[in-house]
Amino acid sequence: MNISRALLMLVLIPAFVLAGCTYFNNIPPVSTLENPTRSRTLGDYEVAGKVVAVQVCASCHGINGQSQSPMIPNLAAQQKEYLINQLQDYRDRSRSNEYAVQYMWGMAGPLTDKQIQDLADYFSKQLPAKASNGIPGDPQLARGKEIFEKGIPEQGVIQCNSCHGPSGAGMATFPRLAGQKAYYLIQQLHVWKYPNQKRFMEVGGNTWAPRTVTFARPRGVLMQKEALSDSDAEAVAIYLSTLQ
Ligand code: HEC
Ligand code: HEC
């Protein structure tokens, strides 16, 4: 091999290698799961909802949609249509309480419509979370069951199962309540009952100050009529958390 051939190779080999790299960089990954850098930006439309689900949402809601924390709801087997509605309501900030503001506004803000569809699809297809055992003989369980199945006619409260289904599994825009975290359910019943509340919220940096948060769930008109006393709300929430 003469000198000029050798020189030519010296130039060409790195050129091929570099060209190869850019070529491969331009191919969209077979599955974005294999390209974690992309999923760092939620708003990147190329990141499939499923990737966002397992890499972002799973840290709080569980990879299978089963949460380990009382204020974080299970998403597993939740109605798909209902999930789409809720993610849109967090995204446009019309669904609000202190947990929504602190956790979900930021999470839903950058999601695209396509990602919302994918996420709702992913979580709705997970197996329902195991219901809580409750405390055997707890009088709240009996009271909760009564409200769920019969309502409280003297207060105009319609039985919950007429909308949420006989087993609490929900349907379309009516959410599944069966097996949901009791604490989370109570917080939601408070949204309808106490729309304006003062809460300690982070206002910037590490400063926590009392701030009026308007609690709202724009699609909950039907729920506004279901005003329960605090003790009845607790009873029905505990009962629902034990429904399989
Ligand atoms: C840092 C923890 C955290 C992360 C991460 C998180 N969530 Fe949430 N999520 C919460 C909390 C807390 C609530 C309850 C908010 C409330 O009370 O309105 C919630 C509520 C929800 C709800 C409402 C469920 C219902 O029954 O109405 C949906 C849907 C949801 N999250 C989806 C998601 C999706 C999708 C992602 C990923 C993009 C995600 N969350 C990421 C903490 C989190
Ligand atoms: C007339 C129909 C109707 C009846 C009766 C009804 N609900 Fe609902 N409920 C709804 C709808 C619709 C939603 C979803 C609202 C939304 O999309 O924000 C809802 C949402 C909820 C939620 C929020 C769930 C979540 O995952 O965030 C809870 C908790 C709830 N209902 C409890 C009850 C209880 C307890 C009763 C009985 C006392 C009851 N509901 C009776 C229609 C009804």
Report whether pLDDT(79) > 90: yes
CB 236 within 8 A of CB 157: no
Q: Which residues contact 48 (CB under 8 A, 6 or more apart)?
A: 31, 32, 115, 118
Please report how the helices 113-124 and 80-91 are oriented relative to each other, as an axis angle in degrees rounded to 10.
140
The pLDDT value recorded for residue 96 is: 92
Residue 176 lies in a domain: yes
What confidence category does residue 35 fall into, taking pLDDT thresholds of 50, 70 and 90? Answer: low
Do residues 164 and 234 both lie within one domain? yes
- Give the residue, out of 104, 117, 181, with the most ligand 1 atoms within 8 A of its beta carbon, to mutate for a pocket test: 104
Do residues 58 and 21 both lie within one domain? no
Residue 133 lies in a domain: no
How many CA atoms lie within 13 Å of 70's alpha carbon, on the beta-carbon side? 6
Do residues 102 and 151 both lie within one domain? no
Q: Find the range with the poorest average confidence among 59-68, 81-90, 119-128, 223-232.
A: 223-232
- Segment 77-98 shows an average pLDDT of 96
Do residues 110 and 199 both lie within one domain? no
The pLDDT value recorded for residue 235 is: 97
What's the gap in Å between 100 CA and the centre of ligand 1? 7
pLDDT digits (tens, 9 = 90+) for 94-153: 999 989 988 999 999 999 999 999 999 999 999 999 999 988 889 999 999 999 999 999
The number of the ligand nearest the C-alpha atom of 215 reads 1
Q: Of 101, 124, 147, which residue is a domain's last?
A: 124
Do residues 100 and 178 both lie within one domain? no
The pLDDT value recorded for residue 100 is: 93
Considering its fold, how many domains does the chain have in total? 3
Phi first, then psi, for residue 18 (nearest 5°) are -60, -45
- Give the residue, out of 154, 159, 163, 239, with the most ligand 2 atoms within 8 A of its beta carbon, to mutate for a pocket test: 163
Do residues 96 and 114 both lie within one domain? yes
The pLDDT value recorded for residue 40 is: 55
Q: Of 96, 124, 152, which residue is a domain's last?
A: 124
- Give the residue, out of 40, 44, 54, 60, with the most ligand 1 atoms within 8 A of its beta carbon, to mutate for a pocket test: 60
**Which two three-digit tokens encode residue 43?**
């708003």
Do residues 82 and 112 both lie within one domain? yes
Do residues 145 and 237 both lie within one domain? yes
Q: Of 124, 152, 186, which residue is a domain's last?
A: 124
96 forms beta bridges with 216
**Rounded Cα distance, 189 and 37, in Å:** 39
Report whether pLDDT(20) > 90: no
What's the gap in Å between 107 CA and the centre of ligand 1? 8
- Segment 71-81 shows an average pLDDT of 98
Residue 49 lies in a domain: yes
Dihedral angle over CA of 131, 133, 137, 139, nearest 10: -50
Full domain range(s) for residue 109: 31-124
Residue 132 lies in a domain: no
Residue 155 lies in a domain: yes
Percent of the chain's residues with pLDDT above 90: 64
**Rounded Cα distance, 238 and 113, in Å:** 34
Closest CA to 183 of 64, 73, 62: 73
Report whether pLDDT(39) > 70: no
Closest approach atom of ligand 2 to CA 157: 38
Do residues 171 and 214 both lie within one domain? yes
CB 157 within 8 A of CB 228: yes
Report whether pLDDT(34) > 70: no
Do residues 38 and 24 both lie within one domain? no
The pLDDT value recorded for residue 18 is: 46
The SS3 assignment for 214 reads strand
The residues lining ligand 2, judged by C-beta closer than 6 Å to any ligand atom, are: 73, 85, 147, 157-158, 160, 162-164, 173-175, 177, 185, 188-189, 217, 219-220, 222-223, 226, 228, 236
What's the gap in Å between 226 CA and the centre of ligand 1? 24
Residue 99 lies in a domain: yes
DSSP secondary structure string for all residues of 156-200: TBPPTHHHH-TTS--BTTBPP-TT--HHHHHHHHHHHH--EEEEE
197 forms beta bridges with 213
What confidence category does residue 19 fall into, taking pLDDT thresholds of 50, 70 and 90? Answer: very low
Residue 108 lies in a domain: yes
Do residues 119 and 100 both lie within one domain? yes
What's the gap in Å between 72 CA and the centre of ligand 1? 7
Largest separation between any pair of C-alpha atoms in the chain: 102
Return the higher-pLDDT residue of 146 and 8: 146
Do residues 68 and 24 both lie within one domain? no
The pLDDT value recorded for residue 88 is: 98
Among 2-11, 23-32, 229-238, top mean pLDDT goes to 229-238
The CATH number for 66's domain is 1.10.760.10
Q: What distances in angstroms separate CA 214 from CA 45, 98, 221, 243, one per listed residue?
A: 31, 9, 16, 31
The pLDDT value recorded for residue 17 is: 46
